[in-house]
Amino acid sequence: MILHGYFRSGASYRVRIALNLKGLAYESQYHHLRRGEHRSAEYRAINPQGLVPALDIGGTVLTQSLALCEYLDEIHPEPPLLPADPLLRAKVRAFAQVVACDIHPLQNLKVLNRLRNSGFSEQQVTAWAAEVIAEGLDACAELISGRPGRFCFGDVVTLADICLVPQLVNARRFGVALEWPRLLDVESACLALDAFQRAAPERQADAEVP
């Protein structure tokens, strides 16, 4: 398998975590988002949307991080990323989608560049991203409020945790005050695991000094 990504991409980070949790070997190919390498004709031939990640599996390319994580979960069911109980599985997916569908798209490079091109100052752009992230993490904290366990939904890592950890990295990058003790406790539990450690942005071959 070949994972096309970028060290700072939160969506790529999610898939790296999932691959590591499953114990799957993969090769990384990097596309520098700030240099626009994902918009090249060569990369668009791989992913017409021009986004990362993309996962090449023997010549078949899959895209979209949540779809990739669920595909990996279906072909390599251990350890499971989604609970067996349908109701709890829906709750895990909902949490993951708050991050992947409601927070991340509004604070990613594509949207922020459009704000810059529309005349927003850098301070306004950063404030936009920070507000979007804080509102979303407020919701995430409420969704797992009162739930026991080391991770978002108990003592087993799920897709919710895979989405949360990269989003907290982005929160710090935009200067968000991290006022959610439960989310930070989950993050600490995740970062104690080798699968999360090896997936960290700073551990990737294309990582740059901030």
| DSSP annotation string for 144-192 | TTT--SSBTTBSS--HHHHHHHHHHHHHHHTT-----HHHHHHHHHHHT
Indicate the fold that domain 2-78 takes in CATH: Glutaredoxin (3.40.30)
Give the domain 86-196 fold: Glutathione S-transferase Yfyf (Class Pi); Chain A, domain 2 (1.20.1050)
Q: Which residue has the tokens 């950890």?
A: 165
- Beta-bridged to residue 54, according to DSSP, are 4, 63
Write down the pLDDT at residue 210: 66
CB within 8 Å of 178: residues ≥ 6 apart: 168, 171, 172, 184
Residue 55 tokens, joined:
């996962």
Q: Per-domain residue ranges for the chain?
A: 2-78, 86-196
CA distance 6 to 29: 8
pLDDT by position in tens, the chain (length 210): 999 999 999 999 999 999 999 999 999 999 999 999 999 999 999 999 999 999 999 999 999 999 999 999 999 999 999 999 999 999 999 999 999 999 999 999 999 999 999 999 999 999 999 999 999 999 999 999 999 999 999 999 999 999 999 999 999 999 999 999 999 999 999 999 999 999 999 999 999 976
- pTM strictly above 0.85: yes
